[in-house]
Amino acid sequence: MQTAKIKVGIVGGTGYTGVELLRLLALHPQAELAVITSRGEAGLPVADMFSSLRGYIDQAFTDPAQADLNACDVVFFATPNGIAMQQAPALLDKGVRVVDLAADFRIQDIAVWEKWYGMTHACPDLVAQAVYGLPELNREQIRNARLVANPGCYPTSVQLGFMPLLEAGVVDETALIADAKSGVSGAGRKTETQFLFAEAGDNFKAYGVAGHRHLPEISQGLTDMAGKKVGLTFVPHLTPLIRGIHATLYARLTKEVDLQALFEQRYQNEYFVDVLPQGAHPETRSVRGSNQCRIAVHRPQGGDTVVVLSVIDNLVKGAAGQAVQNMNIMFGFAENMGLELVPLLP
């Protein structure tokens, strides 16, 4: 059990996942924020950029070239894809543990990763060592991990929704459907026309139907759960929300089972997965600002189709909150430390 505070570094502190990490770690009783990097904002006090952190964080952003990340116990990469794989090897060599919130280490098949992310992987040898950071699936491996690949937001909601069904082998794994909707913060803190208020507000659309980068990550996880190759149709949508993911999942039953009992038993010891009562319909606002995933399972008209409703906050359980959850496991802290967050309503 870790007792002394650990020194934490954040690479890329100016994006939405970066500021969410700062929000969570600012009050974490066992974490000391040692380094917060930003190439573009070096020298700027963090609270000058994010006024919500006034009185909680008095540090300034550090230029990555000047940052002493080797002195940290753990470093979070809240950076675009392709950054962590350049810097993680040197940190790991110094004994620093790494949690990557991007996709550099999530997909075990290097060729598949390079196809979907359009670049050559800088350290393919480390991918096999990385532990996929979905605690509800890989908790024991995370405890001793040096390198954790934090799951994507869509993959978290979809995998948690399908997990009990696939582990129990009660659905046809060849014909799974994930119909998922996300708020605009899932696209990151950047300026693009499609994410302007006048474009995304009062609007709803699908995208990436032919193929989305999270598809191979989700398929990999579901295949591991099922113990055999799965067939998955994944369709993401952009909604006029800031935060939140709602995944509506469909599968065909192949065995009779008490679905409510199956889900309740699978997640009975999971602090951050809440199985709602039979007939419930979870809302994204019921998890906003929290690390919760709320799930409801339905069997419409008593037929052979299972419908699972899974909601998370894409920036918390879908990113920074799950990363802190992984850090807690890695260092022997209580898993919910710093994550006792009541969702925001309204």
Q: How many domains does the chain have?
A: 2
Both 98 and 10 in a single domain? yes
Decide if 264 is inside a domain: yes
Give the helix ranges, DSSP H, for 184-282.
197-200, 214-226, 259-266
pLDDT along the chain (346 residues), means of 10: 85 95 98 95 96 96 94 97 97 98 98 96 97 98 98 98 98 98 90 85 94 96 97 97 97 98 98 98 98 98 98 98 98 98 94
Distances (CA, A) of 251 to 43, 155, 273: 52, 16, 20
- 165: phi then psi, degrees, rounded to nearest 5: -70, -45
pTM: 0.96
pLDDT of residue 271: 96
Considering the domain boundaries, does residue 329 fall inside one?
no
Q: How far apart are CA 242 and CA 248, in angstroms?
A: 19
What pLDDT sits at residue 2? 59
Q: 51 with 97, same domain?
A: yes
Strand pairing category for 245-252 and 176-182: antiparallel
Are 174 and 115 members of one domain?
no
Helix axes 259-266, 153-168, angle to 10 degrees: 120
Any domain includes 326: no
Q: Is 293 noted as a catalytic residue in this protein? A: no
CATH of residue 303's domain is 3.30.360.10
* 173 and 278 belong to one structural domain: yes
Are the beta carbons of 237 and 207 closer than 8 angstroms?
A: yes
Residues 163 and 307 in one domain: yes
Nearest-5° angle of CA 253, CA 254, CA 260? 45
Give the 3-state secondary structure of 21-53. Answer: HHHHHCCCCCEEEEEEECCCCCCCEHHHHCHHH
Cα–Cα distance, 254 to 57 (Å, whole number): 53
Catalytic residue among 72, 123, 153, 293: 153
User: What pLDDT is attached to residue 1?
Assistant: 58
Which helix H or strand E contains 344, and what residues bound it?
none
Per-residue pLDDT tens over the stretch 274-302 = 999 999 999 999 999 999 999 999 999 99
Amino acid at 87: Q
- Based on the fold, state whether residues 110 and 22 are members of the same structural domain: yes
What values do phi and psi take at 120, rounded to 5? -85, 135
Same domain, 125 and 168: no
| Predicted pLDDT at 60 | 96
Tell me: do 34 and 94 sit in the same domain.
yes
Q: Which residues span the domain enclosing 172?
A: 154-314
125 and 177 in a single domain? The answer is no
Q: Is residue 285 part of a domain?
A: yes
Cα separations in angstroms, 101 against 82, 253, 291: 11, 34, 15
- The CA distances from residue 310 to 115, 154, 159, 317, in Å, are 29, 10, 9, 12
205 in a structural domain = yes
- Co-location of 309 and 187 in the same domain: yes
